């Protein structure tokens, strides 16, 4: 199956770019978004717009979801108007959102009960990578189902890593975002600290960016913090959500993420200050001297 019919649910910062990549690769795509206005640019690009997840999934051989959290994913997939109710037997349901492992495994059981397969395939990357097809997919699930969806994944990303059974992709994605969130919070505190000294900020940030701590995260978010440019590439509130999910998942394995708890507190202060819908680099704002 080289060009399966695809349904794509969720057209936010990431989903919109991903769906557009599929259209550009020649796939027949039906889209759904809770806010219909977000579907209009995709309709202009050739997508069919559905009025519900169930309608979108009807007739699709592969159904993708890219939404904010467990609650949004549950609403998309389950219930009388959910995508599982419309999915054909043998369809592959692909959850690309950053979610808890428990919900992903519950979703997989619901898919199997409906005669479908489920692959969890969260991604690393931001809206810019989604737009140009440079995402990295972390996948869990049946290997044969993964091969069915691989052409679509290849249209949206630069790498596909199969990690094991269902939930494996979700788990590694939470570990990844735990590290990113801690790194962003630490960078924010470093930038705010520099700004409270007599150091030349540009010189100090340039040094740190080229030093042992100069990861892509440091370079990217430090530049946005200094600009300042908080145009959303990754919503601040979603990073806080991911840190919470990661802490809960680690606790199940008997691991306490003390650094995640501290980073979560920094992000919560930014949300309380009204920065939740900005880029995650806006976490620096409440730390700055006014």
173 part of the active site: yes
| Spatial separation of the C-alpha atoms in residues 160 and 139, rounded to whole Å | 7
Q: Exactly one of 109, 127, 173, 241 is catalytic; name it.
A: 173
Dihedral of CA atoms 87, 54, 5, 149 in degrees, nearest 10, equals: -60
Give DSSP secondary structure letters for the chain.
Answer: --S--EEEE--STTHHHHHHHHHHTT--EEEE-SSGGGGHHHHHTTPEEPSSHHHHHTT-SEEEE--SSHHHHHHHHSSTTSHHHHPPTT-EEEE-S---HHHHHHHHHHHHHTT-EEEE--EES-HHHHHHT-EEEEEES-HHHHHHHHHHHHHHEEEEEEEESTTHHHHHHHHHHHHHHHHHHHHHHHHHHHHTSSS-HHHHHHHHHTSTT--HHHHHHHHHHHTT----SSBHHHHHHHHHHHHHHHHHTT---HHHHHHHHHHHHHHHTT-TTSBGGGGGGGGS--
| Token pair listed for 257 | 């993420």
Active site residues: 173
């Amino acid at each position: 199956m080289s060009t399966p019919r695809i349904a794509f649910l969720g057209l936010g910062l990431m989903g919109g770019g991903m769906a557009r990549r599929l259209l550009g690769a020649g796939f027949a795509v039906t889209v759904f978004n809770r806010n219909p206005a977000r579907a209009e640019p995709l309709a202009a690009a050739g997508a069919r717009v559905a009025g519900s997840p169930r309608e979108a999934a009807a007739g699709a051989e592969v159904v993708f979801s890219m939404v904010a959290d467990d609650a949004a994913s549950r609403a998309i997939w389950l219930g009388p108007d959910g995508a599982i109710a419309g999915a054909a037997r043998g369809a592959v349901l692909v959850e690309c959102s950053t979610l808890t492992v428990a919900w992903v495994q519950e979703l997989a059981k619901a898919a199997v009960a409906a005669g479908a397969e489920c692959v969890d395939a969260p991604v690393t990357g931001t809206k810019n990578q989604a737009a140009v097809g440079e995402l990295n997919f972390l996948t869990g699930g049946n290997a044969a189902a993964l091969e069915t969806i691989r052409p679509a994944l290849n249209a949206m990303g630069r790498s596909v890593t199969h990690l094991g059974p269902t939930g494996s992709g979700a788990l590694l994605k939470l570990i990844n975002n735990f590290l990113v969130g801690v790194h962003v919070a630490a960078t924010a505190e470093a930038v705010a600290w520099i700004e409270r000294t007599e150091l030349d900020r540009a010189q100090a940030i340039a040094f740190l960016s080229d030093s042992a701590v100069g990861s892509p995260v440091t370079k990217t978010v430090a530049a946005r913090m200094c600009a300042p440019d908080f145009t959303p590439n990754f919503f601040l509130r979603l990073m806080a959500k991911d840190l919470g999910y990661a802490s809960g998942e680690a606790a199940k394995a008997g691991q306490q993420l003390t650094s995640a708890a501290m980073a979560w507190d920094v992000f919560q202060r930014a949300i309380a200050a009204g920065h939740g819908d900005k880029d995650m680099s806006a976490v620096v704002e409440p730390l700055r001297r006014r």
